[in-house]
Structure 1
Amino acid sequence: MQADFSRPVLAIDTSTSFLSLALRASGQTFAFHEDAGNRQSALILPQIGAMLAEAGITAADLGAVVYAQGPGAFTGLRIGAGVAQGLAAPFNLPLVGVPCLDAVACQISAPCVLAATDARMGEVFYAWFDTENHRRLSDYQVGQAADIVPPAGCAEPQGIGNAFALGDKPPFNGTAQMPAAANYLDLAAGGRYPATDAAHAGLLYVRNKIALTAKEQAERKGAP
């Protein structure tokens, strides 16, 4: 299955508390980006409908739907992927999943980039990239920020992502800037991410555990 970027394309990012949407149609980009918190599920379909109406098209006119694949907020990712599948299935539209850390990293161009985002529970999601040459230098990982080390030969690392706004941030220079849905759309249009049908669209998880137990929360509160 091939995505057709000569037609309108919709991008959906619900990997954080933000609801971020981008629709590119007839040379224009329509965007919505708002910190929706737990209102993502209530807002996403009305906002997509409003964007399609503003562009004068319907979902059947789309050449693809791009979605944030993860890692990220567990519930948010499922909302975004579910809506993407729901839009794609009736019209057999291609879906393109873009890993969230790739979208974070693409905001800067450098040979050694650490993309790191808040994974909660005292951990961060992270991966290393050479964004100048469109290469990922490590696996997608999760762990404590202090334990992150650069790959061999990675000089003068630059960091980006909301992990750099945390109290326990990665031990590198970085900015907390996060991407919007338009960044996902741009990456998908580059053709480096495969398209699939709605039935086979998946999410990228790097951690099975999504919450601390009550005992673990109590232990953390009591820690010095």
Structure 2
Amino acid sequence: MQIDFTRPLLAVDTSTSCLSLALRSGGETFLYHAEAGNKQSEQILPQIQILFDEAGITAADLGAVVYAQGPGAFTGLRIGIGVAQGLATPFATPLIGIPCLDAVAYQCPQRPCVLAATDARMGEVFYAWFDTAAHRRLSDYQVGKAEEIALPAAAVFSDGIGNAFALPSPPPFAGKPDMPTAAAYLDLAQSGRYPAVGAAHAELLYVRNKIALTAKEQAERKSR
């Protein structure tokens, strides 16, 4: 689908405990980014309306809705894509899904080997390697133990980025715990490297089948 990037763009990121929204309209970017915890579903529509009011637009004016595709918090991702589809469907507005690790990695632009790693809970991290200078991914999107992350073959490490680097057991590479706001998702969407689809065809990116520990597994972890 073709996108008219001269029209307003809205980005929704609910992949973490923060609610991050960005609206780009008339050359300005209106941003809301705050810790929401389990109140994302209550806050997201009122905060989007505030951004619309600030920009003087409505959902009908949007040229596209950008959403965090994952991997990330399961419930948060479902909230985000549901709201994105709800805003887009009445007006046949295209949706652009941006993988969350891409948004994390491109906080380190023009680097040949960036490790993007985020907290996946349950003692694991989501991660992928990127060459942000050449705009290519060097590995699959993966989930696993931070200490088991290995450098891609023939690669020379340059930067690590993402909230996994603030964990008690971070990846075995130097890195900063910085996370992107929804404005970063707008920037990537406007690069034209990510496809636009109709609302009915929007999908999330999952790299883990299991979303929670069993009671037995939780007890075993506490005992350790």
> Normalising TM by the smaller chain, what interval?
over 0.9
Kept in 1, the 8 Å contact 2:21–2:182? The answer is: yes
Q: Identity over the aligned pairs, expressed in percent?
A: 74
Corresponding residue for 1:20? Answer: 20
- Structure 2 gaps, min length 5: none
Report the Cα distance in structure 2 between the residues aligned to 1:94 and 1:17, rounded to whole angstroms.
26
Report the Cα distance in structure 2 between the residues aligned to 1:117 and 1:34, rounded to whole angstroms.
18
The one-letter amino acid of 2:59's match is: A
Residue 35 (1) aligns with residue 30 (2): no
- Structure 1 gaps, min length 5: none
Kept in 2, the 8 Å contact 1:150–1:157? The answer is: no
Residue 56 (1) aligns with residue 68 (2): no
Corresponding residue for 2:88? Answer: 88
Superposition RMSD on alpha carbons, in Å? 0.6
Cα deviation, residue 157, structure 1: 3.4
Cα deviation, residue 156, structure 1: 2.8
Q: After the TM superposition, list the runs of 4 or more consecutive aligned residues in structure 1 that deviate by more than 3 angstroms.
A: none
| 3-state SS of 2:139 partner | coil
| 3-state SS of 2:121 partner | coil
Corresponding residue for 2:171? Answer: 170
Corresponding residue for 1:107? Answer: 107
Corresponding residue for 1:198? Answer: 199
Cα deviation, residue 3, structure 1: 2.0
Corresponding residue for 1:117? Answer: 118
Q: Given the two structures, how large is their TM-score scaled by the length of structure 1?
A: 0.98
Corresponding residue for 2:131? Answer: 130
| 3-state SS of 1:117 partner | strand
The number of aligned residues is: 223
Kept in 1, the 8 Å contact 2:69–2:205? The answer is: yes
Q: Given the two structures, how large is their TM-score scaled by the length of structure 2?
A: 0.98
Corresponding residue for 1:145? Answer: 146
Report the Cα distance in structure 2 between the residues aligned to 1:8 and 1:81, rounded to whole angstroms.
18
Deviations 1:178-199 (A, max 9, x none): 0000000000000000000110
Cα deviation, residue 26, structure 1: 0.4
Cα deviation, residue 153, structure 1: 1.6
The one-letter amino acid of 2:202's match is: A
The one-letter amino acid of 2:100's match is: C
Kept in 1, the 8 Å contact 2:113–2:159? The answer is: yes
